[in-house]
Structure 1
Amino acid sequence: MKNFAMIGLSGYIAPRHLKAIKETNNNLVAALDKFDSVGIIDSYFPNADFFTEFERFDRHIEKLKRNQGLTIDYMSICTPNYLHDSHIRFALRSGANAICEKPLVLNPWNLDTLEDIEKETQKKVNTILQLRLHESIIALKQQIENGPKDKIYDVDLTYLTSRGHWYYTSWKGDSSKSGGIATNIGVHFYDMLAWVFGPLQNSLVHLHSHDRAAGYLEFKQARVRWFLSINEELLPLEAKEKGQRTYRSITVDGKEIEFSDGFFDLHTKSYKDIIDGKGFGLADAKPSVQLVHDIRNAELSPLKGAYHPLVKYPQMKHPFTNGH
């Protein structure tokens, strides 16, 4: 049984990490979150010590080590994106391996320093790239690997995941903290595309606003038109009729790749691999971190050649431009 600590317990993704720790038969010793609405912990680890102040959490981790000889083997990090770098450093310097949600960091140069700290501490940084573990995506990768090596596939990626007005008040609506739409909801798709179709060769950005982003990517074996949005107005009619607030679609040469299901145990699979020494580390995360950084800072390209058809859907005003 491994000992875990956790930073970030009140957000959307934290329950998947709690479930993964539990289902891999390990123990959560201590957790930290500035918010105290974390009753979810009772369903998994009611005896874990909980803190709302970093200083007390830091002291507790140190006391466990010095006074009880209890080592934290892994520290799970589910905090806002802009804090990942700092919290990973804290985990490593506390003697724990880090397990951090994506994006691992917002800026690619942060990875270089983390690599140095890994060497200094002899601890490892792991990230969650769960689409690489999805059966449909694995099957697609095998199909590409077994196909013609010189074939270039035409791919459309559409990911629509509705968010309400709360999004813009939270850290997620602040691009300096989240990295913007492409980073916050798209980074794992970019990782998956490079994993399946080979290294990135070219990137154009056609649109990047508060509620949507779109562009064109060329990988070694794919031409990709991509579109991401948090605006529910863009959901297709069939999704709205079913009451769905999320729509995912990947087509390869016009054929839909079905991967709507099978997401809910991928964090547990990720944890199993990490504990077995087969997790995804800094080098795995670097291409997608670099790409989202470049998308965030890119000048918009004119709508010529290949671009996603939803790019021309009418833009919506920012919900708070009316003075709220």
Structure 2
Amino acid sequence: MRFLRNLLLLIVLGALLGLGAGWWWLQQPLQTASGEPVLVEVPPGAGAQRVAERVAQGGVQVPAWLLGAWFRLSGQARDIKAGTYEFAPGITPQGMLGKLARGEQALFSVQIIEGWTFRQALQALRGNAELTQDVQGLSERDIMALIGYPGRHPEGRFFPDTYRVARKATVSSVLRQAAQAMDERLAKAWAQRDPATPLRSADEALVLASIVEKETGLESDRAQIAGVFSNRLRIGMRLQTDPSVIYGLGERFDGNLRRVHLDTDGPYNTYTRVGLPPTPIALPGEASLRAAVKPQSTRALYFVARGDGSSHFSATLDEHNGAVRRYILGR
């Protein structure tokens, strides 16, 4: 009887020691072979042991059999989510499982620049090796349908910003996020518009904002430039904005805007046609959206670049011609 009691006591003590050792191990920091954070790809449908093997193969110094056993015994193995994860030296087995179960994937920054055209943004995303390329070979029309905007023209529809996305995220998912961000920013701006605006819709505000974006990089001038164009729209005066003509030329533009370009009629030639061009001409940022819907009250109908990034504004043609002679012709 005493032997059985002693045996039972040894079993209990062994179990307690095992549990204690296991708990201790779960709290121990793990190291990486390189001493730097490592990226581990967890494929869809991977079981606990396969995930553990991926972690060990990725450079985390841990016995794969032991880590896999922990994943299974934890009861959270089914919660592990596919994706790309970053594990820094010092992470514990318990912390690792928590990250995997919560789906806390490694993130990186993707930037879309204010004033880019859609094609420039698409080119940058297609050239990003961290993204999964799922729009290669697709037309602009097909891309818009893929991200949930069928029949929409892509220009101007993506908000320029820095987006934090999971590594190996698809290009289409980044575009979808940027399109939704522009929807939100545009709706917010349009709701705050000046009641006296000549613009008839949020879409027109987006077009004007894109022109303002291309006309100046100086935030302090944007509202006044929007005021000039608003004044012209009210009186039916042509906008005569070079960036719109350049956009219409597309790949034919060689960096030199000539008189023949200004005289040749086309949908984007605001020298030959009254009103806004048919679509935006670039991706406007928040400051340009705000300027388009809340332009500065001004008598100016003209502006010319001073050469230092700022613009000179004029209310009359004579004053404008004088500014052109001074700032453009140097007379």
Decide: shared fold, TM above 0.5. Answer: no
What TM-score do you get using the length of structure 1 for normalisation? 0.25
What TM-score do you get using the length of structure 2 for normalisation? 0.24
| Structure number with higher helix proportion | 2
Larger Rg: 2
- Structure with bigger strand share is 1
